[in-house]
Structure 1
């Protein structure tokens, strides 16, 4: 019995993607222009979340996930209060979703403060 072959592999067909001229495609599929626009819309936030931190393994998993997020400038994990605080220029919902996916733990946003990034001077 003959095996079915992938029709795309045998015909040499390659999907066409419309990319604006001068844009560079990154490994995640976004163009550099899109990435720059997304970076402009990020504000500086301080966010506090509630997460179950039952053991040192859970603590390490949360810590590792936070360290992999490049938008987060600082973080604080409070084991006894079961709270995680982060600050940086990020989209709050995206951080909570990434933490949920990477740690497989429920994430509840308790507090969200937008902080002015401009220095106050005399």
Structure 2
């Protein structure tokens, strides 16, 4: 998914939030492309909602 992130703090917030989602096995964040790749069995809508709750704009 694409997530608007400006700094390392944003990256950390997103990663910490996603680590708490049941079914998320791995999280890869590319700040340059503003791309977050989530691996696991988590529901897409729940993952997207979790990222948006951090205050970031996100889209699949």
* TM-score between the two structures when normalised by the length of structure 1: 0.47
- Structure 1 residue 107, shift from structure 2 partner: 0.8
Whether 2:23 is the aligned partner of 1:104: answer no
- Structure 1 residue 70, shift from structure 2 partner: 2.6
RMSD: 1.0
Query: How many residue pairs end up in the alignment?
Result: 60
How far apart in 2 are the matches of 1:70 and 1:90?
Answer: 6
Larger Rg: 1
Choose between structure 1 and 2 for higher RCO, CA contacts under 8 A separated by at least 6 residues.
2
Secondary structure of the residue aligned to 1:60 is helix
How far apart in 2 are the matches of 1:67 and 1:53?
Answer: 17
Q: Which has the higher helix share?
A: 2
Gaps of 5+ in 2: none
